[in-house]
Structure formats: C-alpha cells, structure tokens
Structure 1
Amino acid sequence: MSPEHLLSIGELAERAGVTVKTVRFYSDRGLLPEGARSSGGHRRYGPEALERLHLIRSLRTLDLPVPEVGRVLDEEVTLEDVVAERLREVGSRLTALRWQEAALQLLQDCAPDERSERLRLIGSVAVPPSTAPLARFWRRWLPPRLPARLVSAIVEQAVPHLPEGPTPDQVLAFTRLHAFVSAPCPGKGRQGQPAAHGPDGGRPAVLYDGLREAYGLASKQLRADRPPHEGEALDCFVAAYARSRGTRDTPDFRHRLSRLLAADPRIDHYWKLTAELNGPTEPTPGATHDWLCAALDSSTVHLTG
C-alpha cells in the first residue's frame, strides 16, 4: 500500500475519536496490526484499521476482556457465542445483586434481636445462591440403588427453583432451608427415614415411580382446592405401595399402610420453607403426600364404618 494511504497513529486516533494512548495499547496487544513503519520508525495504519478499531471499542464497551476481543477478531470464536456468554454472566451478576438487595432489606427491616441470627443465615449462603446442597440432601436421603433417571426426576421435583428477583421473605426462607439441609442428620446410618427405605420396604424403585404419578394426580386436586377424597389419585398412591411389596390393594392393606405412614418420620420443615419459596400456587411433593395420607385415613375410616 502506498504511503499516502496510510494513517499515522495520531490520524487514526483522531478519526476514531480516541487517544493516541488507546491506539498504542491495542497495537501493543496485537489487536490492531500496523500497516507499516515510516522511515523514522513511526507506526502507520491502513484504512481498514479504522473499522477494526471501532469494532474493538464496541466489544470493549460490552466489558469484553481484551484476550476475548482478540479471539473474536481472529475468528477463533463467533460474536454470537461471545454475546450469549456475556448475557449469561451479566444475568448471573444481576441475580446476585437482586439477592443481595433483598438480603440487605431483610436485615434492615428486622428487629434488632433478630439481626444476628439472620446475618448468620445469610452469611452461610453463596451469592448468587445455589440449590446444590438441597440436591445433595435428597440424593443422600433417597434409598440406595434407585435408577439414576428416577433419582434425577425426584430431585428435580423436590428442589425448588429459586426466583431471580426474590423478596426478603424468600431470602429468609432459602437461608433457613439451606441451614436445614446442611445440619447433621440425627442418628446413624439411614435412621430417621421412612419405613419404605428399610430392608422390609419392598422395591423402592417401583414405589417411587408410582408415587411420582400419584403426586401428579393429587397436585391437580390441590390446585382445584379440593379436600382429600377417594379416587384415582388415592388408588394410584396405594397401588404404588402395594406393588412395591408384591401385594394387592385391599381394605386390610389400606389399614396397615395408614398406620405405617402415620409412624413415618417427617420433614415438614423442608416442605414449609419450599412452599414459602415457590408460593401457594404450586403444591410441593410434601403437600401432595399429606393430601394423599389424609385421603387414605378418610377411606380407612369409611371402610371400618
């Protein structure tokens, strides 16, 4: 290229609306190749450098790191991929800020004697928060040797989805939920779990497959605000226990199942806090289980009568 078509570093900076220092910075990092050097050793740039400099500035305005800008310019990654990644990062930061804002509001609005406990709860949770501890809790709590696809489905149903813009009350509910699942489990081994998890519990995989179906049916009844009653949901619930034990759904089995479930350990605190996170419109598995147990108790009373 003839020298008259080349731009000096000052001319390029002036046309781009930046400082000479900025042009030199990008040149030194290989983002802005020089067209040539003058006889005096001064930098010279071709006309395409102006468009490239505009692109560099646009990418940097998006807070893209200099090395990542270089990868885009060298076509090692597409601009679409970089934009998508930046959107994820910005979304994560915004979520973190919303959780921090709600946490600060929670501390500001509480009574002085509550502040110490709430500060401790908030300090134990990462920002943005993660539901990984809740998932680990359920993977430990479920009986061993369940199929992986069933474990994943149960965990997905049992672990609440966190709001991107939480209220202070939702922050408090999640921090308490995090503390609950992080606390040491009472007893040893698998003590404190339902009888279905024990050696006499039959086939847990058959049970949990059936329970997922029964909970889905009961959820529709809860959304419709219907009281516990006999019907398809209860029949599916009882059948899940019966099949897992290799027996039939009979009046005697329903009586025994009602007593068995009444004696099972409960984690009501978990479901209460989950409901506070999810809101009242979406029944938790705990709420559907309670509805089905109440329907079972009602049906056994009816059978006795």
Structure 2
Amino acid sequence: MTVTSGLSAPLVVVVGATGVQGGSVIRNLIESDKPYRFRGLTRDASKPAAQKIKDLGVEVVTVNIVVGNEAGVRDAFKGGDIIFSVTNFWEHVDREREVAEGKLMVDAAKAAGAKLFVFSGLPSVSKLSSGKYTRVAHFDTKAEVAEYARSQLPTVDVQAGYYMTNLDGPLNFLSPKKQDDGTYLWSVQGDPNSTLPYIDMDADYGLFVRFAIESPEYSKGGGTIYSYGERVTSPQAAASLEKLRGVTIKLVPVSQDEHRANVEKSELPPVVKGIVGDSAFVSEYGYYFGLELSEEQQRVRTGLARKPKTFEDFLRANPGFFAA
C-alpha cells in the first residue's frame, strides 16, 4: 500500500475513478512500491464505488467533464503531476462530443502544468485502413484526441484492448447469442482465425498505465502502449467457454455483406450501426493493425509488474460470467 499524503509524492489525477478503467489504474498503482497521492474524479461521490476508493486514501472530487464546465475541470486537475484521462463514447454516442470533451481534458492538464498525460486511446481505423473503414467512430475520435494531446504536452496513449466482458454484452452481432434450446450461436465475420487482444480490463488495464508512468522509456511522454492479456480467436474463446462453463457454442461464418444487411435491419442507432457494420476491419487488419506485435511492445509486456490474465484466468476468477 503506497498511498500517501506527502507532498513529495506525485499527485495522480484519475478521470472516471469509479469506472472500470480508472478503478484499475488506481488499484494497480496502489500495488506499486512507489508512493503516490491520488485524486479520483467522479460525477457522483455518493456511489459505493466512490466510498471504496476513498477508504483506500484517494481524494474523491466531484466534477462533470463537459463543454461549458472548463473552469470546474481545471480546478479538478489543479496540482496534478500525472493525469489519467478516459472518454466514454457509449454514454452519449456522439463523435463531436467525445472529441470536444477529450480536448477539454488535455487543455485542463496543460493548464495544470501536468508532467505526463496518459490517455486511453484507440487506433484511427479510417487512417490505418486508408479510408476503407470510416464508420468506427469511437476508435477515430480517441485517435484524434490522442493526436491533439501529443501536440500540447507529454503524452502516452495506453490503448484499451478488447474487453473480455464484451462476450456477454448486449451487442449480439459481436457476441454469442443464446438460443431457445440453451445453446449459443456465434456469428463470426471474416477469418475465424483472426485474433482479438482480449483483456480483463478491471484487473489488468491499470498494469499498462502503471508501466507508462514508471518506465523511463515512457514516463517523459511519447509512444503508444497496446494493452491486452492474450490474443484469442473466436474458436479458442468458444472452446474455453465450453470447457469452463459447460455450454455449447456453434460458430457460424457470416459474410461482410450479410452482416451489414443484418445490422441495417436492426433497431440500433445510426452511429452504432456504422460501428458494428464496419467491425470487419478487425478480421482484415487486426484490432491494433498488428502494431501490438512489435519488439517494443513485447518489451512492454515483459516489463509489466505481473503477467496479465488469460481468458481462462478471467473465467476462473469470475464464475458468474457467462454462467449457463
């Protein structure tokens, strides 16, 4: 336990401290042998999650990070040496709003004189696919914020891998869908042997942020870190679920045209239809476009404070997940 109130320790300001990513950052930094002061930002300090981090010694500050509350955000960031920032596209499904709020936080971090800005970004699918896939809004917007941040202050982009919890999520186009007979049908686009960078976000995302903050290579800013526990194919994930949950999963290949047609017939909002419809970029290029396979990224992985969880580790640690 390294939480301190000593002014010689760096103050880490964590946006979304009661959420999955922010909470993971706090917990993993607390496990470090280096001392830190923490300020956790949340819109609702009365939530049980806020009380939990307060009990750990985290200063909890209520702030609404929206355009129009620039002064409030600057006050919340004041004195921060390290800022961890995350945006939540799925809260509002608005491209312009996500970019505006991300840039607002960059500006507030710069005004605070932060020495390091750590952002939870994603690759620019539009650019990296040379314009083939242009509707993956939440990837492109985060890439735009990260690019802006780099132009303003020392920044590390710690990109968030594919949440293991997505497999039990609401978007049945991308996850196994339970049938009336209790079995599961999993529609898979493109190459079934393409991999996704699975990560237990709650447990392990903060591992990569901790590395960004404590590694001499990244702590002064610059670079991108691609977080994941392991690279997993759909057949491998299905096999793990069958083994550890006792379910039956049938994988069904679906063409891109058929997938897009199914999405267009759905009741999803237009922006979400675009995102889900263009999700085939993963099969063609990879979630991280293969950038996670570089020698530099392998050095990151060997430098982590501990090994991140595999998918089967996650399933064993969370017996209620995907319970039959």
The alignment's TM-score, normalised by the length of structure 1, stands at: 0.22
Query: Which protein is richer in helix relative to its size?
Result: 1
Q: Which has the larger radius of gyration?
A: 1
Give the number of the structure with larger relative contact order, counting CA–CA contacts within 8 Å between residues 6 or more apart: 2
Query: Which protein is richer in strand relative to its size?
Result: 2
The alignment's TM-score, normalised by the length of structure 2, stands at: 0.21
